[in-house]
Amino acid sequence: MSQHLLLPLVVFAIRPIPGDFKDSAFGPTQEQPEDLDCGRPEPSARIVGGSDAQPGTWPWQVSLQHGGGHICGGSLIAPSWVLSAAHCFVTNGTVEPAAEWSVLLGVHSQDGPLDGAHARTVAAILVPDNYSAVELGADLALLRLASPARLGPAVRPICLPRASHRFAHGTACWATGWGDVQEADPLPFPWVLQEVKLRLLGEAACQCLYSRPGPFNLTFQLLPGMLCAGYAEGRRDTCQGDSGGPLVCEEGGRWFQAGITSFGFGCGRRNRPGVFTAVAPYEAWIREQVMGSEPGPAFPTQPQEPQSGPREPREENCTIALPECGKAPRPGTWPWEAQVMVPGSRPCHGALVSESWVLAPASCFLDPTDPDDAPPGDLGAWRVLLPSHPRAERVARLVPHENASWDDASDLALLQLRAPVNLSAAPRPVCLPHPEHYFLPGSRCRLARWGRGERAPGPGALLEAELLSGWWCHCLYGHQGAEVPLPGDPPLALCPAYLEEEEAGRCWNDTRWSLLCREEGTWFLAGVAHLSSGCLRPRAFSPLHAHGPWISHVARGAYLEDQLAWDWGPEGEETETHTCPMHTEHGACGLRPEAAPVEVLWPWLAEVHVAGDRVCAGILVAPGWVLAATHCVLRPGSTTVPHIDVYLGRAGASPLPQGHQVTSAPPLLCRTGGGSWVLVGMAVRGSRELFAAVSPEEAWISQTVPEAHFLPPSGSPYWPPEGSDLCPPDLAGASGSPRAALFLLLLTPLIQG
């Protein structure tokens, strides 16, 4: 074969013109000695889920360099021509100057030169006129080299398919490149060229996969001139940095380039195969661009008998692509629940995230207060118990998160099992969210045991929870003036509302939970509770989104799953930018969760039970203080303070005991422009409609309760447009309105648990 490659250029000059080329079908006996030999690597011996290529296996693979680094892949199609993707070179509709690019040929590892490796500058970059954006097709480009490549064992051209060439669905082809090995996970040093075997998918199958639920309202229309390759289950794929590189298929002992790596949704995701520019439909365009250049690319005739894959398009559907993670036969029995048994300590609860890896809090195994605490060396005695799995699994490796010892939100470790377990109905891994996953307010969630925490006490062991609005939770735990992140940005915290702690009236400080949220019947590990959230309720859970890349980097093959539900209604409340209101060390004041069980709708409302028979409304103004109307607390003429009980977090939720008399003392709350609620007035004795303004009492209240928060002048209530029946403006000034007679109740520590 090598003698063909070393043919002198003059022989190429008498090569048949492309139109006549179809007769020169290749094959050992039919080959014309004067043809540019293509698609034959020297016999010899990122890609996501691939492996290191052997040197010389893919001699047409080139690296396109810009600013001194690898940007895209490409393929050598003729000594002076490289085929790549348009999107590598087009910015804001303009093709970048060719002079800024160079081409590395014959490279195996980007670290060092190989025999025969060399570089060429680029003389011209040609992009089809109808290219505008990757998802609209025509994503291909031709690069004319300033001088021809030196062909040799490490540098050879690939064969191009004619327009009539048909690659059968199901054919196993290969994609190559130096791209990322996972989303946001670059190929590590020494950057050895990666190869991955991908199956060609039929148009219907690809469209069907891309129509399956995904984040937001993802829709994608496969267009003519595109082809898909990969697997419904994901895992093997091209990724960022592979773009422009070739997808090649062997037919009759020769390699043809079927596609150019173009795009996809993420990398290696289930139901999201890679999308390639199909090369065959662009035969005419390529010939037109290279016209007059000798030797030009070779378009050998397709062999009559393809060696792999059926010729006829197979009818394909995509029903097999359902998630394999996160399916639980019934809530509360979790097939991913893992217990890590370390001799001498209580079992540590974690979650199975793939056949070989368990995620658990690092603090189960490391002392979080001692950053120098070395991970335990002897894992030999550790065992992992999994549901419906008779054997206790051994642990091969413990990988703590790099920030585990100082950052609560990163209190995570991955444990690798010595041997992978067989996945079935149980054990089965939980699904993990990608970084842009957005758990919708109102999502049905559950709390599950996590770490060494005790089982939650009390009767409500099911621990059902409902996710509250992201904006509310972000502001409760965030800082005053903080901007609420848009969906997709990892939120600071996830706040689920659940009843158990509220009912028990105390805070289970030593109980740790993970937060599981369900989408379309599939459970995701959405977050884990950190201990430091104290007793501020609802508790904050650290979202797991941000850790997806770390988990999949360590535990290759962890089940990161696309968002399966995304429709949050027409208002798009969560997509609006918000700024967090007034904030104290106890959280933001005046925030009312939008989607919440009724008892937390007015989270500052207190039931004040006086002398066992009267009930009136109080307002929580600081963690230890409730404000109530004097007439509610004291009998007329009496100065003796009766016995008072205050109930929080249940206002209006529970029926009052027989014989209780409800004393009328409703508070008046108004909403500020910033979205927080402010106490404006307290009802005067005997009225439900007439309110005494609270603001004249500011000095007295703030003297008694320094933690109470008063809105600064700029934060005055937002007066709705005329005609609205909310908060009439004359109440704000309070002049002429009755004086409030108020009582501040100092609470006993019961409230803090």
Question: Is the Cβ of residue 80 or residue 261 nearer to ligand 4AZ in the bound state?
Answer: 261
Binding mask 488-527 for ligand 4AZ (x = CB under 6 A): ----------------------------------------
**Smallest gap, in angstroms, from Cβ of residue 210 to ligand 4AZ?**
12
Distance, CA of 278 to chain centre: 29
**Smallest gap, in angstroms, from Cβ of residue 361 to ligand 4AZ?**
32
Could you say whether residue 215 binds ligand 4AZ (CB under 6 A)?
A: no
Question: Is the Cβ of residue 229 or residue 445 nearer to ligand 4AZ in the bound state?
Answer: 229
* Residue 704 identity: T
141 in Cβ contact with 86 (< 8 Å): yes
Question: Is the Cβ of residue 152 or residue 259 nearer to ligand 4AZ in the bound state?
Answer: 259
Instruction: Identify which of 331, 325, 399, 329 has the alpha carbon closest to the alpha carbon of residue 355.
Output: 325
Q: How far apart are the first and last CA of the chain?
A: 82
**Smallest gap, in angstroms, from Cβ of residue 250 to ligand 4AZ?**
22
Stretch that binds ligand 4AZ, among 258-266, 456-464, 596-604, 619-627 (CB under 6 A): 258-266
CA geometry: angle 212, 218, 221, nearest 5 deg? 80
Could you say whether residue 50 binds ligand 4AZ (CB under 6 A)?
A: no
124 in Cβ contact with 98 (< 8 Å): yes
Instruction: Identify which of 324, 358, 355, 356 has the alpha carbon closest to the alpha carbon of residue 338.
Output: 358
The DSSP code for 284 is H
Stretch that binds ligand 4AZ, among 233-241, 463-471, 691-699, 730-738 (CB under 6 A): 233-241
Q: Which of 37, 139, 185, 242 is catalytic?
A: 139
352 in Cβ contact with 386 (< 8 Å): yes
Stretch that binds ligand 4AZ, among 262-270, 342-350, 520-528, 719-727 (CB under 6 A): 262-270
Is 545 an active-site residue? no
Binding mask 305-344 for ligand 4AZ (x = CB under 6 A): ----------------------------------------
Could you say whether residue 240 binds ligand 4AZ (CB under 6 A)?
A: yes
Question: Is the Cβ of residue 230 or residue 675 nearer to ligand 4AZ in the bound state?
Answer: 230
Question: Is the Cβ of residue 231 or residue 513 nearer to ligand 4AZ in the bound state?
Answer: 231
Q: Give the H or E element holding residue 543.
A: strand 541-543
* C-alpha distances out from residue 471 to 437, 502, 599, Å: 15, 22, 19
CB atoms under 10 Å from CB of 613, counted, come to 12
Question: What is the total count of residues that contact ligand 4AZ (CB under 6 A)?
Answer: 11
Question: Is the Cβ of residue 75 or residue 261 nearer to ligand 4AZ in the bound state?
Answer: 261
Bridge partner residues of 199 (DSSP): 172
Instruction: Identify which of 649, 643, 660, 661 has the alpha carbon closest to the alpha carbon of residue 748.
Output: 643
Is 242 an active-site residue? no
Question: Is the Cβ of residue 42 or residue 96 nearer to ligand 4AZ in the bound state?
Answer: 96
For residue 435, whether the previous peptide bond is cis, meaning omega lies within 30 degrees of 0, is no
Q: How far apart are CA 594 and CA 705, in angstroms?
A: 28
Mapped onto helix, strand or coil, the DSSP state of residue 648 is strand
Q: How far apart are CA 543 and CA 729, in angstroms?
A: 41
Could you say whether residue 261 binds ligand 4AZ (CB under 6 A)?
A: yes
Joined together, the tokens standing for residue 666 give 């409703």
Instruction: Identify which of 394, 359, 398 has the alpha carbon closest to the alpha carbon of residue 375.
Output: 398
CB atoms under 10 Å from CB of 751, counted, come to 20
Could you say which of 237, 337, 408, 519 contacts ligand 4AZ (CB under 6 A)?
237
Distance, CA of 42 to chain centre: 42
Question: Is the Cβ of residue 252 or residue 264 nearer to ligand 4AZ in the bound state?
Answer: 264
Could you tell me the sign of the dihedral formed by the alpha carbons of 308, 310, 313, 317, in that order? Answer: negative
Could you say which of 75, 102, 194, 238 contacts ligand 4AZ (CB under 6 A)?
238
Q: Which of 35, 37, 75, 87 is catalytic?
A: 87
Stretch that binds ligand 4AZ, among 15-23, 234-242, 324-332, 511-519 (CB under 6 A): 234-242
Could you say which of 36, 227, 239, 432 contacts ligand 4AZ (CB under 6 A)?
239
Stretch that binds ligand 4AZ, among 259-267, 309-317, 435-443, 583-591 (CB under 6 A): 259-267
691 in Cβ contact with 683 (< 8 Å): yes
Stretch that binds ligand 4AZ, among 39-47, 261-269, 387-395, 527-535 (CB under 6 A): 261-269
Question: Is the Cβ of residue 257 or residue 356 nearer to ligand 4AZ in the bound state?
Answer: 257
Please report how many Cα atoms fall inside a 13 Å half-sphere around the Cα of residue 400, on the Cβ side: 25
Please report where in the chains the tokens 């190429």 appear, as a residue: 12
Binding mask 263-302 for ligand 4AZ (x = CB under 6 A): xx--x------x----------------------------
Could you say which of 80, 171, 243, 542 contacts ligand 4AZ (CB under 6 A)?
243
Joined together, the tokens standing for residue 587 give 């959280």
Instruction: Identify which of 124, 188, 285 has the alpha carbon closest to the alpha carbon of residue 556.
Output: 188
Is 24 an active-site residue? no
Question: Is the Cβ of residue 134 or residue 145 nearer to ligand 4AZ in the bound state?
Answer: 134
What residue spans of 174-316 are helical by DSSP H? 203-210, 283-290
Could you say whether residue 109 binds ligand 4AZ (CB under 6 A)?
A: no
Stretch that binds ligand 4AZ, among 9-17, 235-243, 492-500, 702-710 (CB under 6 A): 235-243
251 in Cβ contact with 303 (< 8 Å): yes
Q: How far apart are CA 690 and CA 665, in angstroms?
A: 10
User: Which residue sits closest to ligand 4AZ, CB atoms considered?
Assistant: 264
Question: Is the Cβ of residue 239 or residue 515 nearer to ligand 4AZ in the bound state?
Answer: 239
170 in Cβ contact with 281 (< 8 Å): no
**Smallest gap, in angstroms, from Cβ of residue 54 to ligand 4AZ?**
23
Stretch that binds ligand 4AZ, among 117-125, 232-240, 283-291, 339-347 (CB under 6 A): 232-240
Radius of gyration from C-alpha coordinates of the chain: 34
- Tell me which residues touch ligand 4AZ (CB under 6 A): 237-240, 242-243, 261, 263-264, 267, 274
Could you give the residue numbers annotated as active site? Answer: 87, 139, 243
